[in-house]
Amino acid sequence: MNKNTKIYIAGHKGMVGSAIWRTLSENGFSNLIGASSKELDLRNQQAVRDFIKKENPEVIIDAAARVGGILANNDFPYQFIMENMQIQNNLIDSALQNDVDKFIFLGSSCIYPKLAPQPLKEEYLLTDTLEPTNEWYAIAKITGVKTCQAIRNQFGKDYVSLMPTNLYGTYDNFDLNTSHVLPAMIRKFHEAKENNHAPVTLWGSGLPMREFLFVDDMAKAVVFALENKLPDYLYNVGTGEDLTIKELAEIIQEITGHKGEIIWDSTKPDGTPRKLMDVSKMHELGWKHQVDLKEGIQKTYNWFLENTENFKQVKLK
């Protein structure tokens, strides 16, 4: 791998893809290509095939996905399973057909069973049932992992899957209808502060435990996978540390400066009780996260404040 290697980043305008682009550029990679959703519909098989054939990248990084929290997964199950499978299948198959030797597939910790032992090890994949609130997305991502593994086994290509824990950071999605828990909390606490420190109502009991990784650390894991031939097909990427949703809310409340009450709506679902990643495989190879949670949330809130008028709004149809 050299700095002029032609690398296509699918989803380069999203939170994860843009962080990967930034990090690769900072590391001297100069031959990066991307296409916006207006320029290339990744759900369109022929369009993706034509694009990959024309551009002929040496590496493809798949950071493109239909994403969202519990509400979005519940309201749009068909889009979450079908569109994610279309996107990844088109990219993976086009990579194989055009003899792309290296493919990095990004998934999610939700691929693991709901009640799997903690922390989550890679070998727990497909050992039990999934969490119902995000099974549509999880099933799509599992098929991507197994497809890359099949190509690795059958054709000997360096196709590897990285499963990040819950990601957050600059360019996150703060739309309360589709966002994940951390950016949703940032927006809720900020707006409540602006509204005379009004009470903030949050879903569930606050008892589930979650792990969070700053998106720039995820991008560095991708660069690590790019510069090294990883010996296995699947790797967890996270901090190996978690906290309760209640503790997270208190940290965000402090950082945003909200002084009002927090109300927990126990009629709303909690989701998986705990999702702590075992990241020992990546640690043994030499990658480890660098940004701690409070520092990352502060950076994310600073970005939110700078972009309050035009932050990303995702609308599903």
Provide the sign of the torsion angle of the four alpha carbons 297, 299, 302, 304, taken in this order: negative
What is the value of pTM for the model shown?
0.91
Per the annotation, does 106 bind a ligand?
A: yes
Which residue did the predictor score with more confidence, 26 or 74? 26
Is residue 44 classed exposed, middle or buried when 0-12, 13-18 and 19+ CB atoms within 10 A define those classes?
Answer: middle
Q: Please tell me the predicted confidence (pLDDT) of residue 311.
A: 53
pLDDT, tens digit, 9 for 90 and up, residues 37-47: 999 999 999 99
Q: Is 165 one of the annotated binding-site residues?
A: yes
b vs e for 276-297, b when ≥16 Cβ sit within 10 Å of the residue's Cβ? bbbbebbeeeebebebebeebb
**Angle, to 10 degrees, between the axis of helix 135-155 and the axis of helix 77-97?**
10
Per-residue pLDDT tens over the stretch 152-161:
999 999 999 9
Written as six digits, the tokens of 179 are 């966002």
pLDDT exceeds 50 at position 313: no
**What percentage of the chain reaches a pLDDT higher than 90?**
85
Return the pLDDT at 173: 87
Q: Please indicate if the annotation marks 258 as binding a ligand.
A: no
What was the pLDDT predicted at 216? 98
Domain ranges of the chain: 7-306
| Residues acting as catalytic residues | 137
Is 13 labeled as ligand-binding?
yes
Return the CATH number of the domain spanning residue range 7-306: 3.40.50.720
pLDDT tens digits along 155-200: 999 999 999 999 999 999 898 877 789 999 999 999 999 999 999 9
Task: Retrieve residue 55's tokens.
Answer: 């551009």
C-alpha–C-alpha distance, residues 84 and 90, integer Å: 10
pLDDT tens for each residue of 108-148: 998 999 889 999 999 999 999 998 888 999 999 999 999 99
